[in-house]
Each structure stands twice: as C-alpha cells, then as structure tokens.
C-alpha cells in the first residue's frame, strides 16, 4: 500500500499515542486493582485475626465440658452471625475437616469456598483468592482458627470488591473518554504539524520542477534554523550556484556563438551520427539550408556527406575545392578529438571566390605585365641586335632606331614606376606632400601636357572652369589622377572625338568631370574597373604603345580617397564615359561641418 509522507507521519503519531495510552491505561488499571486487592487482603487478614480472637474469647466464656472444637461447632451459627454483623462481611465457619458448619448468609454460593478451605487445611495458612461472579469481583479468604494453639476449624469470608469494580469502570470510562479526545487532538495536530513539516518539502519539489522547466531564478523561504532550514539553505545555495554556472555557461555559449558568427568561414561541427553540434550563418548563405539538424538535411550538397563519411572512416584531413551556387568553396574536414569525449568532426567552408578572382586577376596581370615588358624589350633587343650586327651608318635609320629604343625604354620605365606605386599603396607607406593648390592651374597643366597625346590620337580636349577655391593636396599625385583619367579617355576615344574636362564648385566641393564619347563601360564593369589589375577587355585599346596594366584607375581611386575625395563613374555602352572626381575645398577641410552651424 502506498502511503503519502503526511499519512505516514499521522499514522506514526497515532500508533505512538495508542501505544502510550494503552500502557498508561494498563498501569493505572493494574495499579489501582493491585492497590485495592492488597488493601482488601490486609483487611481480611485483620478481620480474621480479630475474629479468631473473638471466637476464642467467646468459646472460653461458654462453660460446659465439651471440647473447644465441639463448643465451636455448636456455637458456629451464632459466631458467624455476630462476626458478620461486626465486620459487615459474609462469614462462613468450617470444622477441622473443612466441612461447612455455619454461614452468616442464606445465599447458596458458600460451596465455592471449599477449594480455599482445603488449601488452608493443607497449608495450615490463610488463603486469599479472587473470583468473578455476575460481573462482580469477590475476595475469598479462608484461615485456620486456633485457640490455645489447637486448631478448632476454619474461618471463611466472602468479601465483595464491587466498590473497586465501580471505581475501575469509572476510571476506564474517563480514560477512554480522555483518550478519544486526546486521539482526536493528536490527529488534528498531526495534520497541522504534518502540513507544516511537509510545506518546505513541497516547496522543494515545486522549485525542483520549475528548475526542470528552465526557471533558475528561484529561492525557498523558510524562517526556522532547524534541519529543514539547513536543507533549504543548502538547496538555495545550490540553485544560486547552478544559476551562476548556467549564466556563465550561457555567456560562454554566447561568446562562442559570437566567435563562430564572426568567423569569416562557414563552420559545421558534427557528432558521430552526423547530427549538427554547431554551425554558423554562412551555412545558410552558402548552401541555402535553414537550421539544419543533421548532415542529411543537406540534400543537394552530397559533397558534405561525402566528407563526413570519409572522416568517419578514419581520414584525418580532407581538403577539396568545389563550385557551388556561383561560389568557389574550399572545404576542409578534420576530426575533433578530445580526451574523454567521443570523436566529432568539423568541416570548414571557406569562400575562395574573391581570392580566386584576385588570383585570376593577378595571373592575368602577370601575363599582361610580362607581355608589356616583353614587347618593349623585344623591340629594344631587336634594334640593338640589328645595330650591332649590321653596323648601320645611315643616320636616318640610326636616328629612328635610337628613337624607338628610347620610346620603348620610357614605356618600360613607366610600367615599372606604376608597379612600384601600386606596391607602395599596398604597403600603406605612400608619402603625400600636401600643399594648398589651385586645381584650375593643375588641370590646365595636365590638359596641356595631354594635348600632344590627344592630337596624336586625333582627339581634342576642351577644358572649362570657373574660379575655384584652393584645395589641400599633393600636386604631383593629383596630376597623376587626372593624367590617368584623361589618358584613358584618349585611349578609348575614336579619332575626331572631343573630350570635355569641366571643373566646378558645388556644395564646398570641387567637382572635376572628364567626359569622353568612346565605347562606354557596362554597369557590371563599372563596379570592377577600380579594382587593381582589372581591365575590361584585354585588347580593346591595344593601340601600339597603349597597353595597360589595369592599375591606372586603382591608383586614381587610392589617391582621391587619400584626399578625402570620391570618384564616380557615369557611363553607358556606346555613349561614352564620364568620370567625376569630387575633392573637398580647403575651408571644408579646416572648418568641416562647423561652417553650417555658424550660418
């Protein structure tokens, strides 16, 4: 049978009470009976002594010749009545043979004293017994009667202990009554105490359940400093410690999640069964799978399952490149082995698209540079070979040859300069010597310088400008910016075209626009032409001596940005290109946004 703790507590109390009650009841009852009976015994002994004395005196006063025994027999009825009258007890007299000779009462229950008389006869001593007749206790007492040391018969008393019975029944009644009351009280109090005792245990259970449901911010309130108080205190400390530990673990988890999220690679950690232990956002970006639970959720990425299977089969390091959703991805798989833990696996997914693109660009650049270096070198070597072998003396041929060697030498120098510049930009050690400069003068000089090249290509450059405030900049570098842009414009213009160079002031910024009417640049290409080594089409401008490295606009952008400026492009294929350079004027740089506030 299953009993609740409370029921058991009440039952224990009940049993304890019942046991104590019965013990007390037994002691009181037995003690009282014993007291009464002892009293009665002593009383009857006394009566028997008095009666023996009385009989002896009475018999001595009777003067006849018969023996004491005969005198006793003949006067027995008288004697029994007088003793009974004095002592208020039924008195029976027996002869020496134990035969009843007188009974002070007319009741017929006398025969029941025969056993006691016979006992007294055999032991020659008083005998005291108790008998229960009709729900009343009777004390039966017999004793030998001796006169002058001669046994003359036996004396018997039947003494009612009704008084004791009544007293004991009253005692029993009151004890049962008080016992029942006490039992009722005990049960009630037990209920109450049990509830009190059990409340903290119930609280503990409730709080444990809440903790199971993930609510850790709890405590039990118990005011007493007893054992339960100790338990609740220990429990509260445990909850606090657990809570702190959970907060710590949570923050560790968040930090780890932050680290994983900020990783630039996709990450997939898997257990032995292919369940995902952790992953980061790139998994969705790369494979378009939201919240995957297992490696088998990657239905269309069999390469991931393949890596997982190989790792599981004991391969230590896997590295392979795949193309997926227009991306070039490098997959690196390795096992995670930690002492005491089962082996897990990690797959890192690195997006190599940009790197690959740069690699491609660099490859193109190297082949382009090699080509560019080779062309002038071949020409130079060709001419010098010819001059040394043939020993040319014709001044015209000699002159033309030396001119070509010189031009190609300059072309080589230009290329090497550009490469050195790019290298410096990449190392961020490019040295700017900024001064206050007039952009109109700077542009006029550049345009004039470029006119020669323009006229060679049968292109006309028009420069217009209003009066402009000064800018703070590196004169040579800014010249390089506009030379590069105008050079491009000339390169991509058709003979007879015009190039418009216009500089204006707009919103405290100098805007320089270089507009040509060449082939234009598509929207997609517009985003790329400022990248290093990027060229739209390898051969588009390969007019003799006009090859490019794809570095011109990259350098332009670097210089403009280092002057806090911007470069934009407006172009449509077939309609020409407009490159717009924006530079802050000197005051803008000095006062910045403050000027607005003072206005």
Closest C-alpha to 18, from 190, 194, 198 = 190
User: How far apart are the C-alpha atoms of 32 and 29, rounded to whole Å?
Assistant: 5
Helix (H) or strand (E) holding 156: strand 150-160
Which residues, 6+ apart, have CB-to-CB distance to 285 below 8 Å? 266
Fill in the per-residue mask, 529 to 568: x = in contact with Mg ion (CB under 5 A), - = not in contact.
Answer: -------------------x---x----------------
Q: How far apart (Å, rounded) are the C-alpha atoms in residues 499 and 515?
A: 6
Is 552 among the residues that bind ligand ATP (CB under 6 A)? yes
Collapsed DSSP state (helix, strand, coil) of residue 283: helix
Q: Which is nearer to Mg ion, 351 or 488 (CB)?
A: 488
550 binds ligand ATP (CB under 6 A): yes
Q: Which does 516 bind (CB under 5 to 8 A by kind): ligand ATP, Mg ion, none?
A: ligand ATP
* Minimum separation from the CB atom of position 531 to ligand ATP (A): 8
DSSP 94: E
Q: Is residue 529 a contact point for ligand ATP (CB under 6 A)? A: yes
Buried b / exposed e over 426-453, threshold 16 CB at 10 Å, is eeeebeeeeeebebbebbeebbeebbeb
Q: Using CB under 6 A, which residues numbered 412 to 441 contact ligand ATP?
A: 418
Q: And the tokens for 523?
A: 């929207």
Q: Which segments within 313-427 are labelled E, that is strand? A: 318-324, 327-336, 344-351
CB of 444 to ligand ATP, least distance (A): 21
| Options 98, 179, 548, 584; binder of ligand ATP; rule CB under 6 A | 548
> Does residue 553 interact with ligand ATP by CB under 6 A?
yes
Q: What angle do CA 139, 140, 142 make, to 5 degrees?
A: 140
For ligand ATP, the closer of residues 203 and 361 by Cβ is: 361
Judged by CB, which is closer to Mg ion: 121, or 535?
Answer: 535
159 binds, among ligand ATP, Mg ion, none (CB under 5 to 8 A by kind): none
CA gap 599, 585 in Å, rounded: 18
Q: Using CB under 6 A, which of the segments 151-159, 297-305, 511-519, 557-565 binds ligand ATP?
A: 511-519
Q: Tokens 């790369």 correspond to what residue?
A: 286
Nearer of residues 344 and 449 to Mg ion, judged by Cβ: 449
Residues 480-499 binding Mg ion (CB under 5 A) are 488
Q: Which of 90, 535, 557, 563 binds ligand ATP (CB under 6 A)?
A: 535
Compare residues 113 and 551 and give the one whose CB is closer to ligand ATP. 551
Q: How far is the CB of 510 from ligand ATP (least distance, A)?
A: 21
Residue from 98, 179, 473, 518 touching ligand ATP (CB under 6 A): that is: 518
- What are the DSSP calls for 212-224, one per residue? HTT----------
Long-range CB contacts (within 8 A, 24+) of 523-530? 526/569, 526/571, 529/553, 529/569, 530/554, 530/556, 530/557, 530/567
Least distance between Mg ion and beta carbon 556 (Å): 8
Task: Pick one of ligand ATP, Mg ion, none as the site partner of residue 551 (Cβ within 5 to 8 A by kind).
Answer: ligand ATP
Residue 156 binding result from Mg ion, ligand ATP, none, given CB thresholds of 5 to 8 Å by partner type? none
549 lies in the binding site for ligand ATP (CB under 6 A): yes
Question: Which residue's beta carbon is nearest to the bound Mg ion?
Answer: 552
Q: Which does 540 bind (CB under 5 to 8 A by kind): ligand ATP, Mg ion, none?
A: ligand ATP
* 488 lines the binding site for ligand ATP (CB under 6 A): yes
Q: Which does 383 bind (CB under 5 to 8 A by kind): Mg ion, ligand ATP, none?
A: none
Site for ligand ATP in 97-156 (CB under 6 A): none
Query: For ligand ATP, how many residues bind (rule: CB under 6 A)?
Result: 22
DSSP string, 485-553: HHHHHHHTSPTT-EEEEEEEEETTEEEEEEEE-SS---HHHHTTTTSTT--S-TTTT--TT----S-HH
* Span from 38-46, 74-82, 325-333, 513-521 in contact with ligand ATP (CB under 6 A): 513-521
Chosen from Mg ion, ligand ATP, none, partner binding at 518 (C-beta under 5 to 8 Å by type): ligand ATP
3-state class of 146 per DSSP?
strand
CA distance 125 to 135: 29
To ligand ATP, the closest distance from the beta carbon of 418 in angstroms equals: 6
Give the span between the Cα atoms of 458 and 475, in whole angstroms. Answer: 28
25-33, 349-357, 474-482, 528-536 -> range binding ligand ATP (CB under 6 A): 528-536
The answer to whether the Cα torsion of 479, 485, 487, 489 is positive or negative is: negative
Q: How far is the CB of 541 from Mg ion (least distance, A)?
A: 8
Q: Using the rule CB under 6 A, is 457 a contact of ligand ATP?
A: no
Distance CA 60, CA 100 (A): 22
Residue 19: Cβ-neighbour burial (10 angstroms; 0-12, 13-18, 19+)? exposed
Binding stretches for ligand ATP (CB under 6 A):
418, 484, 488-489, 492, 516, 518-519, 521, 529, 534-536, 540, 548-554, 577
Binding stretches for Mg ion (CB under 5 A):
488, 548, 552
């Amino acid at each position: 049978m299953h009993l609740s703790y409370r029921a058991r507590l009440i039952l224990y109390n009940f049993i304890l009470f019942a046991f104590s009650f019965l013990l007390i009841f037994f002691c009181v009852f037995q003690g009282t009976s014993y007291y009464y009976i002892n009293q009665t015994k002593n009383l009857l002994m006394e009566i028997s002594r008095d009666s023996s004395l009385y009989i002896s005196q009475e018999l001595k006063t009777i003067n006849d010749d018969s023996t004491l025994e005969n005198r006793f027999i003949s006067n027995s009825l008288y004697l029994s009545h007088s003793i009974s009258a004095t002592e208020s007890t039924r008195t029976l007299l027996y002869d020496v043979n134990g035969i009843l000779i007188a009974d002070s009462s007319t009741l017929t229950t006398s025969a029941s004293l025969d056993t006691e008389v016979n006992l007294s006869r055999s032991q020659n001593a008083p005998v005291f017994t108790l008998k229960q007749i009709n729900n009343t206790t009777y004390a039966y007492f017999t004793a030998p009667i001796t006169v002058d040391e001669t046994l003359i018969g036996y004396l018997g008393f039947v003494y009612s202990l009704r008084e004791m019975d009544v007293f004991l029944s009253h005692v029993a009644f009151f004890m049962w009554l008080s016992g029942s009351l006490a039992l009722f009280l005990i049960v009630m109090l037990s209920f109450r105490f049990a509830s009190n005792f059990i409340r903290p245990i119930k609280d503990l259970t409730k709080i444990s359940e809440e903790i199971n449901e993930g609510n850790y911010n709890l405590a039990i309130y118990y005011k007493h400093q007893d054992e339960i108080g100790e338990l609740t205190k220990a429990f509260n400390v445990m909850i606090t410690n657990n809570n702190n530990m959970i907060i710590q673990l949570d923050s560790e988890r968040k930090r780890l999640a932050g680290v994983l999220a900020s990783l630039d690679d996709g990450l997939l950690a898997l257990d032995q069964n292919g369940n995902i232990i952790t992953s980061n956002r790139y998994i969705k970006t790369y494979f378009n799978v939201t919240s995957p639970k297992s490696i088998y959720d990657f239905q269309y990425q069999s390469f991931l399952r393949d890596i997982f299977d190989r790792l599981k089969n004991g391969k230590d390091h896997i590295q392979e490149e795949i193309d997926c959703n227009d991306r070039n991805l490098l997959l690196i798989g390795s096992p995670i082995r930690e002492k005491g833990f089962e082996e897990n696996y990690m797959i890192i997914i690195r997006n190599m698209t940009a790197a690959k693109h740069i690699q491609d660009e660099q490859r193109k650049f190297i082949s382009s540079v090699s080509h560019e270096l080779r062309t002038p070198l071949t020409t130079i070597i060709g001419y010098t070979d010819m001059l040394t072998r043939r020993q040319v003396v014709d001044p015209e041929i000699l002159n033309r040859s030396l001119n070509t060697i010189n031009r190609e030498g300059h072309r080589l120098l230009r290329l090497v300069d550009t490469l050195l510049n790019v290298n410096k930009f990449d190392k961020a050690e490019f040295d700017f010597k900024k001064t206050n400069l007039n952009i109109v003068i700077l542009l006029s000089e550049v345009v004039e310088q470029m006119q020669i090249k323009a006229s060679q290509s049968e292109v006309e450059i028009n420069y217009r400008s209003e009066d402009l405030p000064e800018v703070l900049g590196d004169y040579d570098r800014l010249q390089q910016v506009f030379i590069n842009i105008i050079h491009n414009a000339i390169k991509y213009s058709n003979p007879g075209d015009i190039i418009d160079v216009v500089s204006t002031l707009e919103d405290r910024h100098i805007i320089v626009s270089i507009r040509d009417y060449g082939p234009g640049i598509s929207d997609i290409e517009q985003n790329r032409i400022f990248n290093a080594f990027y060229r739209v089409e390898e051969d588009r401008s390969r007019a003799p001596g006009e090859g490019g490295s794809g570095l011109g606009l990259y350098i332009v952008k670097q210089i403009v940005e280092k002057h806090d400026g911007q470069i934009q492009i407006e172009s449509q294929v077939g309609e020409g290109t407009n490159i717009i350079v924006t530079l802050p004027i000197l005051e803008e740089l000095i006062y910045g946004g403050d000027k607005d506030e003072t206005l």
